[in-house]
Amino acid sequence: MLKSPSIARKVNRIKRHKRIRSQVIGVAQCPRLSVFRSNKHLVLQLIDDVAAKTIISARDQELGKIKPEKGQTARVAQGFALGEVFAEKAQKAGIKKVVFDRGGYLYHGIVKAIADGARKGGLEF
C-alpha cells in the first residue's frame, strides 16, 4: 500500500527527530528547548531529560495577535515573539543556557524565527 505524501512527510520528520534526539540531551543546568509546530499552533518546552520533566512551556495562544513587519509572514512574526516571551520565562526561572531541539523541522522560517527570538530574549545555545 502506498503512503500519501502528507503521511510520508510526517514519518520522515519523525525519523529526523529521532536522529537529532540521539545526540541532543537536556540536563538541569542546560535543558533542551523543544519546538513543536502544527498547522495552527506553536509550542515550546524546556525539558530536563535526566529527570524527565518539563520545566517551562509556552504556546502561541498566550500571545494573541502579532502584527508582522514588512516582508515577514504572520507565523514567522508569531514565532519570533514567542521565542522572546519564552526567553523571559526561562530567565525568570534562572535558566540562561539551553540546547536547541528543532524537532525534525528544517531550521528555516518559523523555527529559525523562534531561535532568533529566544537569542534576542537572552538565551544562549
pLDDT in tens, the chain (125 residues): 567 888 888 999 999 999 998 988 888 889 999 999 999 999 999 999 999 999 999 999 998 888 888 888 999 999 999 999 999 999 999 999 999 999 999 999 999 999 999 999 999 98
Cell numbers describing residue 101 = 531541539
Q: Residue 47 sits in which domain range? A: 5-121
- The number of distinct structural domains making up the chain is 1
Supply the CATH number for residue 19's domain: 3.30.420.100
Counts of helices then strands in the chain (DSSP H, E): 3, 4
Q: In what order do the strands lie in the sheet with 42-48?
A: 53-59, 42-48, 32-37, 99-101
pTM of the model: 0.88
